Structure 1
Amino acid sequence: MKPLVFLILALAAVNAFEFRTLQTRNVEMPVLDEPTGRITNGEKATVGQFPYQVGLSLKLNLYSSSWCGGSLIGNSWVLTAAHCTDGVQSVTVYLGATERTSAEATYTVSSNNIIIHENWDPTILQNDISLIRIPSVAYSNRIQAVKLPNIADSYHLYTGDVVVASGWGRISDSINSVTEDLQWAVLEVISNTKCAMTYGSKVILPTNICVDTSDGVSTCQGDSGGPLVLVSSGVQVGLTSFGAADGCEKGYPVAFTRLTSYLDWIKSHTGVVYY
């Protein structure tokens, strides 16, 4: 019997360290940690290595805020997870940063500039995707939009493909705060069938994409919403959604929102055209 898993959408807090937690209805699976990163056991990024990486400081109320990742997909649009932006009052967007809050450009926008998927379901973490509208930013060596999949790739599963995840999330299970330096890790996509052996077929749906973390290299709390990009082409295929609550270094698969399932949704709200 699979261990009972709790889906933890962890947003590493900047002010009052706070985690948002969700749990499935008695779904048998391993304990889910927040969307995953030292990325645990990852590498430190160099300046300009991930120009599409975005940092998000999310104001929850007067006294607390949380941290997530995201990706720049156009001059005025940031892509992230719904569980990051659900219920926030405002968000400060950091662009072109390697050191977490030392950015080339910073914008603070209200919740009116956040678009959460209309079918976002926090009980099972489905349709975990949202958009943030920001003032138009100029591209530079440190700020560039990531490529999105072509609509023709909508049925591509990516199983076995090599991908890279990046973010400022926790660098180990023993640390309770996000890291200051951007981290990255190379991972391998696994089949949804294999991923469902851990989390169950009611949780892992075609709109998810999963990676193997059996060597302890994973995303972690604070990496939520961050990009999963194909090493071969630089195309973003996923965004960090959830992992096992037992810990980021335990070797359980990590689940991402599969972007090929949401290309029409992204285009309808942003006008961003796939390459």
Structure 2
Amino acid sequence: MKVVLCVLALAAVALGAPSAPGGRIFGGINAARGEFPFIVSLQYCIIGFCQHSCGATILSPSWLLTAAHCFTELPGIGSVRVIAGILNQNDANAEKQTINIGRYIVHPNYEGGVNPHDIALIMLSSSLILNAQVQPARLPRQGEEPQGPFDLAGWGSIGGSNLFPQMPNNLQKAVVPLVPIRECDAVLTRILEGRPHPLHFESNVCSGPLDAPITACGGDSGGPLSKGNVVEGVVSWGINPCGGVDAPTVYVKVSNYINWIQRYVDEPLLFAD
């Protein structure tokens, strides 16, 4: 089977941008309400129709963290909104908040597609109201090395095909181990039969397991790789088709970008103790 690298956004599938893989956070289970109060759903809207496209992490009432390709790989039409405080995509609970995006800031070194520095900040058009279901994540310190295992969460594809992915209603989660960056590099090189790949030793982190089909998939892009309430990574890219054994998921390493984040976010941020 031919394998290719792909970003893990979803809305672009139906709308003509790079394809997302068909697969799942394989082996994942339903998350519980309030378990990940810092995750939100980014929804791409066009002509009155909205669908989940990416995840994002709450940093403060007005600022979110996501993957840059969740914006750069979309068509030049339509809009993106934020849904916070939900467990299920069809939730109508009192904590649910729908807010438009004021602006987004893509890291200046990101070159688009499957590349390093795939990170972006979102400033909301109005502030979130914090409650039990809507809370900011904590951040690691600049330069800290993440230590697994981690929690991976998202509303990404759980089956179907590239063109017709099966999307979960309930937020999914899986516990995933850290794959050391040099091992990740070796595995990707083997999978791609020596073809070059954009894994960046300083700014990426990888998860496995390499002996079971547990990976992020289409629609998980931009969502958090977390440890407790600390966001350690941002879902960036993986192998298509996803859900394969011996196929790591690659994330942006958040601790590499704390100084950049603080340059823009004008609200107090929470850091790991």
TM class by smaller structure: 0.7 to 0.9
**Which residue is equivalent to 2:97?**
105
2:152 to 153, 165, 180: 165
1:11 partner letter: A
**Alpha-carbon distance, 1:60 to partner:** 6.7
CA contact (8 A) 1:11 1:66 kept: no
Go from structure 1 to structure 2 and tell me whether the alpha carbon gap of 1:202 and 1:244 turns closer, same or farther (over 3 Å shift).
closer
**Which residue is equivalent to 2:252?**
257
**Which residue is equivalent to 1:25?**
none
**Which residue is equivalent to 1:85?**
71
Go from structure 1 to structure 2 and tell me whether the alpha carbon gap of 1:98 and 1:243 turns closer, same or farther (over 3 Å shift).
same
Go from structure 1 to structure 2 and tell me whether the alpha carbon gap of 1:19 and 1:216 turns closer, same or farther (over 3 Å shift).
farther
2:220 to 208, 211, 223: 223
2:9 to 11, 19, 23: 11
Q: Deviations over 1:109-160 (max 9, x none)?
A: 35xx111111112254111001111111111110000111123xx14252xx
Distance 1:167 1:269 in 2: 26
Flag structure 2 segments of 5+ consecutive residues without an equivalent: 190-195
- List structure 1 runs of 4+ shifted beyond 3 angstroms: 59-66, 172-175, 271-274
CA contact (8 A) 2:24 2:156 kept: yes
Task: Confirm whether residue 42 of structure 1 aligns to residue 31 of structure 2.
Answer: no
* Identical counterparts, % of pairs: 27
Distance 1:54 1:37 in 2: 21
CA contact (8 A) 2:226 2:233 kept: yes
Go from structure 1 to structure 2 and tell me whether the alpha carbon gap of 1:51 and 1:123 turns closer, same or farther (over 3 Å shift).
closer
**Which residue is equivalent to 1:242?**
237
2:170 to 181, 186, 198: 181
1:250 partner letter: V
**Alpha-carbon distance, 1:69 to partner:** 0.6
**Which residue is equivalent to 1:130?**
120
SS in structure 2 opposite 1:194?
helix
CA contact (8 A) 1:114 1:132 kept: yes
Go from structure 1 to structure 2 and tell me whether the alpha carbon gap of 1:166 and 1:66 turns closer, same or farther (over 3 Å shift).
closer
Flag structure 1 segments of 5+ consecutive residues without an equivalent: 23-32
RMSD: 2.7
Distance 2:167 2:254 in 1: 25
How many correspondences in the alignment? Answer: 253
Distance 1:216 1:105 in 2: 34
SS in structure 2 opposite 1:243?
strand
**Which residue is equivalent to 2:43?**
57
Task: Confirm whether residue 197 of structure 1 aligns to residue 182 of structure 2.
Answer: no
**Which residue is equivalent to 2:192?**
none
